[in-house]
């Protein structure tokens, strides 16, 4: 495999309409899902926090949520939500 090149690894028809699909292609573990707009997202199937398999998690607001501590990844693979850093609204708000 030549890094940073495009490779066909599966048909878009194979990616489910709901949930996350984990596959290993060319020695890389990948997680696939569809956004609400039916866009296909693909990121490495490895949580940066504790190494859990993201494909074992669920989709929350178009993000892949790690099943271990709930880190949420956007379709570009960036962590957008870290539950321990989310501020809970004050009940007086």
Q: Is residue 70 part of a domain?
A: yes
Residue 22 lies in a domain: yes
User: How many angstroms separate the CA atoms of 58 and 67, rounded?
Assistant: 7
Q: Across the strands, what pairs with 24?
A: 29
Determine, yes or no, domain membership for 6: no
* Residue 2 placed within a domain: no
Please state, in angstroms and as integers, the Cα–Cα distance from residue 34 to each residue in 1, 40, 50, following that order.
26, 5, 24
At 4, is the pLDDT very low, low, confident or very high (cuts 50, 70, 90)?
Answer: confident
- For the entire predicted model, the pTM comes to 0.84
pLDDT at 6 (0 to 100): 85
Domain that holds residue 45: 16-82
CATH code of the domain in which 59 resides: 2.102.10.10
How many domains does one find in the chain? Answer: 1
> Domain for residue 59, yes or no?
yes
* Residues whose CB is less than 8 angstroms from the CB of residue 47 and which lie 6 or more positions away in sequence, other chains included: 53, 54, 66, 68, 69, 71
pLDDT tens-digit readout, 15-51: 999 999 999 998 899 999 999 999 999 999 999 988 8
Name the burial class of residue 23, with classes exposed (0-12), middle (13-18) and buried (19+) by CB atoms within 10 angstroms of its CB. Answer: middle
In a domain, residue 78? The reply is yes
Assess if residue 28 is contained within a domain.
yes
């Amino acid at each position: 495999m030549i890094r940073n090149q495009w490779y066909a690894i599966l048909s878009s028809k194979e990616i489910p309409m709901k949930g996350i699909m984990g596959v290993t292609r060319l020695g890389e573990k990948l997680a696939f899902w569809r956004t609400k707009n039916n866009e296909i997202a693909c990121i490495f199937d490895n949580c940066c926090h504790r190494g859990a398999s993201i494909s074992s998690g669920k989709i929350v607001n178009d993000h892949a949520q790690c099943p271990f501590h709930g880190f949420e990844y956007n379709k570009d693979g960036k962590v957008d939500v870290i539950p321990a850093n989310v501020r809970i609204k004050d009940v007086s708000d």
